[in-house]
């Protein structure tokens, strides 16, 4: 009989928290023991997450980190990166496993952290203790680790799209990427840029060439390819609630034709439970929205001199495979249960 585990969520009142709670409540091997938040303390979870009305009697609790971790096997952190650091410090001397969904421990470079997150990291000595939580790259390391940092939503999309080319040694110098994202990626607290009237019929860029997910993407591509690679990334805010669609442009040696390039992608993901390479179409957001599945596709251009242009596409749900779903996938690996548990639903269409 499979062992039954207990989990706590720390920072559970946001959109990612809602998705974590929803999936843990149906998890066959993990019981959701408590949900902590500084908002809605003492109130039912359904006050913040109306889709949970009548589903659970759990309430939001405000507890110190060590108390939140009492009698549980794993704590999932749905906090801003500045808050995650302090919680992790509080849990170092406990036996509990920690899954952090913020950017606090995704990097291995203090200078990159300072540039992209705007502050000096107070505990860079902890970087080496965290596995980077992209299962398609680090599955074995995740399963062995007590601390895991789940990737960002844009980062997951772009990394999955480019990994087959990186592993084959076909990426050189720089890759150009445009990524389109839905409003839920900005979090539950509204701002001038996420307010519905200015977003519903609008497209606009933000943080062009300076998004905080760039250094983690470059780190993954470096580790996969064995060489330094630059990513020129322009994010775009779109009138969607859920979803990310990324388009990446790379030049590969001319001798790699359409069949060879496409076979790289098929072979890379044929055994991956949550990455699909559609046979008859290119990726699209509606096919993955609400699910933990990501889609990747590629088109190969004609020869231009010694190279040809390869355009790679990736799509996923930013709150699921780009957020809480991937966190659950990592949790499953860390606890040694079926990686697919509570994640195999395919979402809705359209």
Catalytic residues: 153
Helix and strand tally (H, E) in the chain?
Answer: 10, 14
Instruction: Give the whole-angstrom CA distance, residue 160 versus residue 176.
Output: 15
The full DSSP string for 167-217 is HTT---SEEEEEEEE-GGGG-SS--TTT-HHHHTT--EE-STT--TTHHHH
Cα atoms in the 13 Å half-sphere on the side-chain side of 301: 15
Does residue 269 sit in helix, strand or coil? Answer: helix
Exposure b/e, 251-275, CB count within 10 A at least 16 = b: bbeeebeeeebbebbeebbeebbbb
8 A C-beta contact, residue 290 and residue 242: yes
Angle among Cα 222, 223, 229 to the nearest 5 degrees reads: 5
Instruction: Give the whole-angstrom CA distance, residue 320 versus residue 258.
Output: 31
Distances (CA, A) of 46 to 55, 185, 195: 8, 21, 23
For residue 53, whether the previous peptide bond is cis, meaning omega lies within 30 degrees of 0, is: no
The encoded tokens of residue 320 equal 């699921």
Instruction: Give the whole-angstrom CA distance, residue 243 versus residue 287.
Output: 10
Instruction: Give the whole-angstrom CA distance, residue 68 versus residue 62.
Output: 8
Instruction: Give the whole-angstrom CA distance, residue 194 versus residue 121.
Output: 28
């Amino acid at each position: 009989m499979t062992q039954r585990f207990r989990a706590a969520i720390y920072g559970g009142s946001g959109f990612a928290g809602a998705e974590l709670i929803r999936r843990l409540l149906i998890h066959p091997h993990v019981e959701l023991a408590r949900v902590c938040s500084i908002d809605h303390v003492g109130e039912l979870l359904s006050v913040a997450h109306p889709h949970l009305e009548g589903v659970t009697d759990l309430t939001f609790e405000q507890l110190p980190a060590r108390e939140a971790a009492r009698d549980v096997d794993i704590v999932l952190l749905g906090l801003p990166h500045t808050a995650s650091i302090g919680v992790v410090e509080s849990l170092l001397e406990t036996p509990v496993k920690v899954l952090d969904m913020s950017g606090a421990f995704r990097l291995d470079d203090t200078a990159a952290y300072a540039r992209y997150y705007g502050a000096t990291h107070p505990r860079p000595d902890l970087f080496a203790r965290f596995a980077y939580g992209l299962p398609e790259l680090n599955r074995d390391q995740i399963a062995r680790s007590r601390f895991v940092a789940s990737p960002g939503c844009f980062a997951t999309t772009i990394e999955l799209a480019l990994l087959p080319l990186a592993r084959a040694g076909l990426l050189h110098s720089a890759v150009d990427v445009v990524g389109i994202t839905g409003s839920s990626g900005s979090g539950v607290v509204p701002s001038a840029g996420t307010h519905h009237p200015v977003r519903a019929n609008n497209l606009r860029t933000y943080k062009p060439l300076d998004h905080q997910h760039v250094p983690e993407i470059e780190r993954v591509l470096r580790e996969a390819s064995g060489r330094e690679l630059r990513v020129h990334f322009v994010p775009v805010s779109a009138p969607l609630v859920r979803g990310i669609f990324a388009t990446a442009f790379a030049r590969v040696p001319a001798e790699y034709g359409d069949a060879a390039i496409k076979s790289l992608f098929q072979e890379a993901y044929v055994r991956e439970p949550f990455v699909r390479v559609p046979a008859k179409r290119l990726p699209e957001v509606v096919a993955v929205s609400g699910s933990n599945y990501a889609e990747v596709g590629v088109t190969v251009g004609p020869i231009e001199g010694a190279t040809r242009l390869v355009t790679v596409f990736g799509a996923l749900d930013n709150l699921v495979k780009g957020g809480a779903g991937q966190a659950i996938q990592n949790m499953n690996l860390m606890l040694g249960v079926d990686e697919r548990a509570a994640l195999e639903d395919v979402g809705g269409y359209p």
